[in-house]
Amino acid sequence: MNFKKLFILVFAVFFIGTIYAQDKIFKTNGDVLDVKVKTINTTSVVYVFRDNVTGPEYTILKTEVEKIRYKNGTEDVFNDNNNQQGKSNFEKSRANYSETSSKPHIFAFSPFQFTENGVGIAVNFEKALDKEGLFAFYFPIITTFNLSNNQNVGSNTDPMFYIMPGIKYYPYGSFGKSQYAIGPSLVLAGGQKTTTIYDGYNSVLSRNVYTHTIFGIILNNSLNMNATDKIYVGLDFGFGFCYINSIGSDNKGMSGLVQGGFKMGFRY
């Protein structure tokens, strides 16, 4: 139960933090606006208010702006003559990855993947849900094997097949050179579990294979690295718990879940 409470607390703290981590426009008259900056052009800044990001867009002249502080901590400072040297951080980030941002889909293969069951392989699909890539739908399909499960009588690797549909949140968008994401996924898994009973002389008395079913939730942490506008590599690690952990007809109750791996693929 303590594990569950810790999981909920960590997720809640992060979620609250991301809600309030927004851009701020500092006006020359001393006002501060909590906003989400949409675009910056040669004469003005376009934004929406933080509490109504799907609402109307507003425009403010650069001459009225002292500085902009973005949610990742970087700032653009505008001098009195409104004469910036080069492009703003916002403009640079959009310009550098304009080609990448036009490719919202990722397909990747994991040559090394692990779960609480063992090691294996996986394929992953991801689709950005908005034009800045703040949110993405994520769908990994994983197969792992318990390679250490040599039970003296033959060898049974207890394969498990997982699907983990979920949502990723990228605090700074997913179209940069290297971007971090966090988000929850459902865990649905099926396979088998082998149990062996030994006598006092370490000889096998019986060996039984049962169906194994898992249903739970996991919190994933991801690091996406875009080597080019098409080549993609990534790292995943997640932990969580299952509500159903059924071996045969016996539900073992709540237990821990873990998954992680290295991915490589392409954007399109």
CB 36 within 8 A of CB 23: yes
pLDDT tens-place string over residues 243-255: 999 988 888 888 8
- Confidence at 99, pLDDT banded by 50, 70, 90: very low
pLDDT tens-place string over residues 35-72: 989 888 888 999 998 888 788 999 999 888 988 988 77
Domain that holds residue 46: 23-96
- Confidence at 84, pLDDT banded by 50, 70, 90: very low
> Which has more confidence, 173 or 82?
173
Is residue 5 in a domain?
no
Is residue 173 in a domain?
yes
User: Does residue 158 share a domain with residue 223?
Assistant: yes
User: Does residue 241 share a domain with residue 140?
Assistant: yes
User: Does residue 237 share a domain with residue 156?
Assistant: yes
The structure tokens listed for 143 are 């197969």
Distances in whole angstroms, Cα of residue 203 to Cα of each of 32, 71, 158:
75, 62, 21
CA distance 113 to 200: 37
Q: What percent of the chain has pLDDT over 90?
A: 40
User: Does residue 131 share a domain with residue 228?
Assistant: yes
CATH number where 262 lies: 2.40.160.20
Is residue 117 in a domain?
yes
User: Does residue 91 share a domain with residue 106?
Assistant: no
User: Does residue 257 share a domain with residue 180?
Assistant: yes
Total domains in the fold of the chain: 2
Mean pLDDT score, 196-225: 83
pLDDT tens-place string over residues 180-201: 999 999 999 999 988 777 666 6
Is residue 171 in a domain?
yes
Nearest to 124 by CA among 233, 225, 239: 233
Is residue 156 in a domain?
yes
CA distance 118 to 122: 13
- Residue 173 CA, chain-centre distance (Å), reads 11
User: What ranges in the chain are assigned the alpha helix state H?
Assistant: 2-20, 89-96, 98-101
| Cβ density class 118-147: b for 16+ within 10 Å, e for less | bebebbbebebeeeebbbbebebebbbbbe
